[in-house]
Amino acid sequence: MTTPTSERVAEAGKWARRTWPRLWPPLLAVAGVVAVFWKLVLTKQYTFLASMDLANMVVPRLEAEVFAIRHWSVLLWNPYEWFGQPPVGQVEPSAVSPFTFLLALAPLHQGQIQFFYVHLWYVSIHCLAALFAYWLFRDLRCSPGPSVVGAILFATMGFYGNTEWPHHLTPAIFAPLVFLFLLRALRGRTPLKSAAWAGALLGVSWLCGHHEPPVILSLAVAGVALPSLLSRAHRRQTLLRMAVLFGVMVLVSAVQVLPAIEYGKLSKRWTATTALTWKERVPFPEHEQFSVKPNELLHLVMPGGNGMFSDPFVGTVGLSLAAIAILGAFRRREVRMFVLIAIFGLLYAMARFCAPYGLLYVFVPLVEKTREPMVALFLFQFAVAALAALGAETLFASPEPRRELKIAKALVWFGGGTFGLFMLLTYLKPAINSAILDGDPRPGMIALIALLLAGLYQAWSRGYLSRQWALALLGLLLIVEQGNEVGWSFAHVHDSHDSGRMAMVNALADTQDLATWLRTRRDRNRVEVNEKDIAFNFGDWYRMDVDHTYGASMLTATSELGGWWGDRIGRMYGLNYVASRTPTRGGLQEMITGKTGIKLWYNPDAFPRAWTVHQIVVAPNESSGADMMNNWPFDLRATALTVRSKPALDTCGGADKVLWIGEKPSQVWVNVEMACKGLLIVSDNWYPGWRAEVDGRPAEIWKVNTVIRGVVVNAGKHTVAMRYRPFSVYFGFAFTLVGLVAAVVMQRRRETDGADALGDASKAD
């Protein structure tokens, strides 16, 4: 007679035996990714953050967003940049990205994010990429071992392994999941359900960061469906499936896209050549500048590419497996499809040398805004990873000595030639000046891997290795090869050779004394930061209102003033403290000197955070208003400027009093006592979505001095509240929920399989 305990143990054993075969392969894929990124995960000696963009902009912005999330909010309005801007509209801060919320789970140190946990977060994104790829490859009927190899390759090579920007990386990792459901939809496997989930995941990709990967991925999705749309047999079914896919995508992406459109129309974006408004096209020479050059294709197999999102590195393991898929399984429609996707991605990345790209630039919406075509390498490498998984499946399903011999010979010629050349140059080094030998000795390692890989293929084809051992050794060579590229550019925290790079990261902590002192000042309105002395986003990192921001865009109205750093505009914005080694303007009073030698100065002439006026000057248009603000001699303390119209105000002999000011990132409260009807001005940027109330009753917000906000207040004591309630974000969020709910509802409805539009497309006509 069995006891309840023994029954539970037996059931647990059965569950483990059923679950473990499904669980170990994805865990092995994650372990492979961790092995490649071991410097970031298993030690605290290295960092990927030691670059200008990451240390100065990305990490401080993440700090501000994580702080808001951990206080049960979302940073819809960022007062710490350029006198106030909307992060959701700027896209790159990724305020609505699910990965930003994931980072918010990490513990803080003294109220701020810790670099080590940023490292773990960054590697976890790659682990998710591997899992997404593994699920796709299993859906392509690859067995677990080859799927693991393809997943590790996908998550670590080229763009995916070397892109330091999380906001470029995270949208791209959704490519496998999007294609998983896209292919199901086109094959007719519960087609509308699959199309809805493909659209939902493509929409989530739009939420995760930079717009370039989602634009390119959307083009690839449309391109895969195009043959079926052009055929007669299943045109109607394909059209319905793609309508569902892109309809759900539009809905899910709305919380990011709608605010981005709104902000784009009101802002300027700095590019490689100049600052551009929404209506201005990005010049094509910029697309040419950020294209992959033909000579850089050498780095498909050789290390030493750009190291960022233009790194084309695949490696000998990935390329050889892709070649096996092409040689041995080209009849499979998936192989042919991924070959075409790889060619499309590579040619797109080489825009300068690919004339058809110009047609996309001219006729396809948003392509001209994706000024870095090299980002399309993510699509090329996704397709190569899929081919590699299919190639590994082909290789280990049944060995074919002739095929393996061809691949092995190519590897031997490549490895032997590279290794021989490398050794020859090493021998001749005293007689020649070789930048390759002095700067990057890794080609020798690539040659060795190629030779070992050739031996592995031959040993497998001749039966000297079991399938398990051959797959294990193949995975090991893959990890060694990708680790030879991925960790090469990480900065060592204490190495003198990396001291210049680490100085950018260390600056975030070295200015803590300045921030601590500023927090004790109740009279602090806004801090002017000398960008030559403090390059990083001081305001984001310490959550203080500042003038200067390291970023790619700002509101056009602020930019058009043409000199907020000047005395007149600086006083208006309340820049009453200055962080700089030397005075930036006259009349400053030195307060303290920080440990880095940067001083804090006080400007007694700066305006308070809020003040009142009773006189108005009217400008005929925005351009004239900016000119009048800079050049007309009226006193901004007593007179305000509005455009085209003005509020009715009273003049009186009494003095107004601003009694109290309270603020949060998206809210401002002012208690004011007015002698008579006047205009209360708050020196924060005007932007659509701000709402005002006076004593709880709605009031109009006037755009004052072309850039800031004002509210008309009657005589007496009043409480004025301004809150940021952006219609574009709320409306977009409602659309996003509708899109996600639609995908869930469609998943729950009964649906039979439909026609295989992907398979029959080539035969229809």
State the DSSP string of 294-324: GGGGGGGTSS-S-SSTT-----HHHHHHHHH
Q: Can you give the residue ranges of every domain in the chain?
A: 35-399+463-489, 514-602, 610-726
Read off the pLDDT band of 439 (50, 70, 90): low
pLDDT 10s digits, 648-702: 888 887 788 888 888 888 899 999 998 889 999 999 999 999 999 999 899 999 9
More confident position, 460 or 527: 527
Rg of the chain on CA atoms, in Å: 30
More confident position, 11 or 344: 344
pLDDT beyond 60 at 274: yes
Residue type, 306: N
The residue with tokens 């075409």 is 340
* Per-residue model confidence (pLDDT) at position 735: 94
**Residue ranges of the alpha helices (H) in 235-376?**
235-252, 254-265, 284-289, 316-329, 333-349, 355-363
* Per-residue model confidence (pLDDT) at position 306: 61
| CATH class assigned to 610-726 | mainly beta
Q: Give the mean pLDDT of 390-409.
A: 82
d(CA 124, CA 269) in angstroms, rounded, equals 31
Stated pTM of the model: 0.91
d(CA 281, CA 248) in angstroms, rounded, equals 28
* Per-residue model confidence (pLDDT) at position 17: 63
Alpha carbon of 380 to those of 321, 343, 607: distances in Å?
A: 15, 7, 55
Q: Give the mean pLDDT of 92-114.
A: 85
Phi-psi region of 612 (alpha: psi -120 to 50; beta: other; left: phi over 0): beta
Asked if residue 80 lies in contact with residue 544, where contact means CB atoms within 8 angstroms, the answer is yes
* Per-residue model confidence (pLDDT) at position 9: 61
For residue 128, which of 206, 267, 33, 207 has the smallest C-alpha distance?
33
Q: Which residues contact 617 (CB under 8 A, 6 or more apart)?
A: 628, 632, 634, 639, 640, 641, 642
DSSP H or E stretch at residue 599: strand 599-602
The residue with tokens 């459109």 is 261
d(CA 503, CA 579) in angstroms, rounded, equals 18
If you average pLDDT over every residue of the chain, what do you get? 86
Asked if residue 95 lies in contact with residue 66, where contact means CB atoms within 8 angstroms, the answer is no
Write out the two tokens for 57. Answer: 């902009």
pLDDT beyond 50 at 764: no
d(CA 344, CA 300) in angstroms, rounded, equals 16
Read off the pLDDT band of 13 (50, 70, 90): low
DSSP string, 599-628: EEEE-TTSPPSEEEE-EEEEESSHHHHHHH
If 0-12 CB within 10 Å is exposed, 13-18 middle and 19+ buried, where does residue 522 land?
Answer: exposed
Read off the pLDDT band of 762 (50, 70, 90): very low
* Per-residue model confidence (pLDDT) at position 571: 86
Q: Which residues contact 280 (CB under 8 A, 6 or more apart)?
A: none
Q: Which letter does DSSP use for residue 78 in this model?
A: B
For residue 380, which of 475, 476, 309 has the smallest C-alpha distance?
309
d(CA 225, CA 190) in angstroms, rounded, equals 16
Length of the chain in terms of residues written:
765
**Residue ranges of the alpha helices (H) in 140-190?**
144-156, 158-162, 166-172, 175-187
| CA-angle at 128, arms to 248 and 468, nearest 5° | 125
Q: Which residues contact 700 (CB under 8 A, 6 or more apart)?
A: 647, 692, 711, 712
Read off the pLDDT band of 385 (50, 70, 90): very high
* Per-residue model confidence (pLDDT) at position 30: 93
pLDDT beyond 50 at 434: no
Q: Which residues contact 314 (CB under 8 A, 6 or more apart)?
A: 153, 157, 158, 300, 301, 322, 381, 384
pLDDT beyond 50 at 763: no
More confident position, 756 or 5: 756
pLDDT 10s digits, 122-140: 999 999 999 999 999 999 9
pLDDT beyond 70 at 2: no
pLDDT beyond 90 at 24: no
d(CA 268, CA 276) in angstroms, rounded, equals 5
Strand partners, 716: 674
For residue 723, which of 684, 689, 678, 682 has the smallest C-alpha distance?
689
Handedness of CA 445, 326, 32, 459 (dihedral sign): negative
Residue type, 473: L
Asked if residue 82 lies in contact with residue 555, where contact means CB atoms within 8 angstroms, the answer is yes
d(CA 156, CA 37) in angstroms, rounded, equals 9
* Per-residue model confidence (pLDDT) at position 20: 65
Residue type, 134: Y
For residue 169, which of 130, 220, 222 has the smallest C-alpha distance?
130
For residue 184, which of 745, 738, 746 has the smallest C-alpha distance?
746
Read off the pLDDT band of 436 (50, 70, 90): very low
d(CA 274, CA 674) in angstroms, rounded, equals 45
d(CA 485, CA 488) in angstroms, rounded, equals 6
d(CA 707, CA 554) in angstroms, rounded, equals 12
Report which listed range, 303-307, 559-563, 581-585, 723-727, is most confident.
Answer: 723-727
d(CA 94, CA 112) in angstroms, rounded, equals 18
Read off the pLDDT band of 95 (50, 70, 90): confident
Write out the two tokens for 522. Answer: 């109740």
pLDDT beyond 60 at 504: yes
d(CA 648, CA 73) in angstroms, rounded, equals 37
- Dihedrals φ, ψ of 654, to 5°? -75, 165
Write out the two tokens for 666. Answer: 């998206």
For residue 345, which of 187, 474, 466, 219 has the smallest C-alpha distance?
219
More confident position, 653 or 534: 534
pLDDT beyond 90 at 476: yes
pLDDT 10s digits, 146-189: 999 999 999 999 888 888 888 889 999 999 999 999 999 999 88
Q: pLDDT exceeding 90 applies to what percent of the chain?
A: 30
d(CA 303, CA 485) in angstroms, rounded, equals 6
d(CA 647, CA 692) in angstroms, rounded, equals 15
DSSP H or E stretch at residue 253: none
Phi-psi region of 398 (alpha: psi -120 to 50; beta: other; left: phi over 0): beta
Which range has the worst mean pLDDT, 490-499, 719-728, 736-745?
490-499
d(CA 15, CA 30) in angstroms, rounded, equals 22
Q: Which residues contact 127 (CB under 8 A, 6 or more apart)?
A: 30, 33, 34, 155
Write out the two tokens for 505. Answer: 């990261």
* Per-residue model confidence (pLDDT) at position 6: 66
